[in-house]
């Protein structure tokens, strides 16, 4: 009862005062990575082990957040799909060089930059991950996927998260494909890198390449 009385008194006191309603603070802006900086930050063939081939990407300015796969649980799309889906168009959008080693082995690197911080993306992925370790997905062509996800520990990684996803395609149920992905944030800049279909023989191999990619990004941003 005393607690209720105190709440009532405080409420009445607040109603009896003239309170100025300040306008909401504008979202703080951050430096946007330029196209030359993002291009300089992207990995080159020299950064990869021997045996890789590569060249200039066909679409050097990709769209962000254009995924069409439906996931169950629905909110796991931020983990196994495109975490940038639904965001406004970035100020800078760069696709790195393409890298291939075999027809089904390749590395894709995307660098986007907005004038506002995107750090919350990593937090949202980490928050969703505990209940997204097993996910099903239906692609636009009705192909069904079953996925298991786990985090890959990358020593020294700051403001980023790396994942290993094992996929079983309904069309090829006897084979498990492995997808390594990572999302790293630097202010308003987002680095996305992934290797498809058993590109990396171990999680450690992916961690090493990601560490190199992050170092290039940090160097280009300064």
Could you give the angle at the alpha carbon of 165 between the alpha carbons of 54 and 198, nearest 5°?
Answer: 40
Report the range of poorest mean pLDDT among 30-34, 60-64, 131-135, 189-193.
60-64
- The CATH number assigned to the domain holding 39 equals 3.40.1000.70
Cβ contact 121:95 at 8 Å? no
Instruction: Tell me, yes or no, whether 11 lies in a domain.
Output: no
With 80 as the cut, is the pLDDT of residue 134 above it?
A: yes
Q: Could you give the dihedral angle defined by the CA atoms of residues 213, 214, 215 and 216, in that order, rounded to the nearest 10 degrees?
A: 50
Answer with the residue of higher pLDDT: 221 or 125: 125
At 9 the pLDDT is 26
pLDDT digits (tens, 9 = 90+) for 140-172: 766 788 999 999 999 999 999 999 999 888 777
Exposed, middle or buried: residue 164 (CB in 10 Å: 0-12, 13-18, 19+)?
middle
Percentage above 70 pLDDT, the chain: 85
Joined together, the tokens standing for residue 10 give: 């405080």
Instruction: Tell me, yes or no, whether 5 lies in a domain.
Output: no
- The Cα 198–Cα 46 span in angstroms is 21
pTM across the whole model: 0.82
Joined together, the tokens standing for residue 90 give: 């970035």
pLDDT digits (tens, 9 = 90+) for 42-82: 999 999 988 899 988 877 777 776 567 889 998 999 999 88
Q: In which band, very low, low, confident or very high, does the pLDDT at 128 lie, cut at 50, 70 and 90?
A: very high
Most confidently modeled range among 49-63, 120-134, 172-186: 120-134
Instruction: Tell me, yes or no, whether 207 lies in a domain.
Output: no
Instruction: Tell me, yes or no, whether 24 lies in a domain.
Output: no
Instruction: Tell me, yes or no, whether 209 lies in a domain.
Output: no
With 80 as the cut, is the pLDDT of residue 187 above it?
A: yes
With 50 as the cut, is the pLDDT of residue 217 above it?
A: yes
At 182 the pLDDT is 97
Cβ contact 182:190 at 8 Å? no
- The Cα 200–Cα 127 span in angstroms is 26
Instruction: Tell me, yes or no, whether 120 lies in a domain.
Output: yes
At 11 the pLDDT is 26
Answer with the residue of higher pLDDT: 141 or 208: 208
Instruction: Tell me, yes or no, whether 50 lies in a domain.
Output: yes
Instruction: Tell me, yes or no, whether 185 lies in a domain.
Output: yes
Provide the mean pLDDT of the chain.
83
For residues 117-137, average pLDDT: 96
Joined together, the tokens standing for residue 7 give: 């709440």
How many domains does one find in the chain? 1
Domain, as residue range, for 116: 35-60+68-199
pLDDT digits (tens, 9 = 90+) for 8-45: 222 222 233 333 334 444 567 899 999 999 999 999 99
- The Cα 188–Cα 185 span in angstroms is 7
């Amino acid at each position: 009862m005393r607690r209720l009385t105190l709440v009532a008194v405080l409420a009445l006191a607040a109603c009896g005062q003239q309170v100025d309603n300040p306008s909401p603070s504008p979202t703080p802006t951050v430096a946007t990575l330029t196209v030359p900086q993002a291009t300089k930050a992207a990995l080159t063939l020299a950064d990869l082990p021997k045996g890789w081939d590569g060249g200039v990407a066909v679409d050097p300015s990709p769209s962000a957040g254009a995924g069409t796969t439906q996931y169950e649980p629905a909110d796991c799309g931020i983990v196994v799909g495109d975490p940038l889906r639904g965001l406004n168009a970035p100020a800078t959008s760069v696709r790195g060089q393409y890298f291939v080693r075999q027809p089904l082995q390749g590395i894709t690197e995307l660098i986007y930059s907005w004038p506002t911080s995107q750090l919350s993306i990593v937090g949202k992925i980490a928050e969703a991950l505990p209940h997204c370790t097993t996910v099903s997905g239906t692609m636009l062509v009705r192909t069904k996927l079953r996925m298991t996800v786990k985090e890959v520990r990358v020593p020294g990684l700051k403001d980023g998260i790396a994942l290993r996803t094992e996929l079983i395609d309904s069309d090829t149920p006897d084979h498990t494909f492995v997808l390594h992905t990572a999302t790293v944030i630097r202010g308003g800049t987002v680095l996305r890198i992934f290797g498809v279909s058993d590109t990396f023989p171990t999680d450690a191999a992916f961690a090493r390449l990601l560490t190199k990619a992050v170092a290039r990004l940090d160097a280009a941003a300064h």
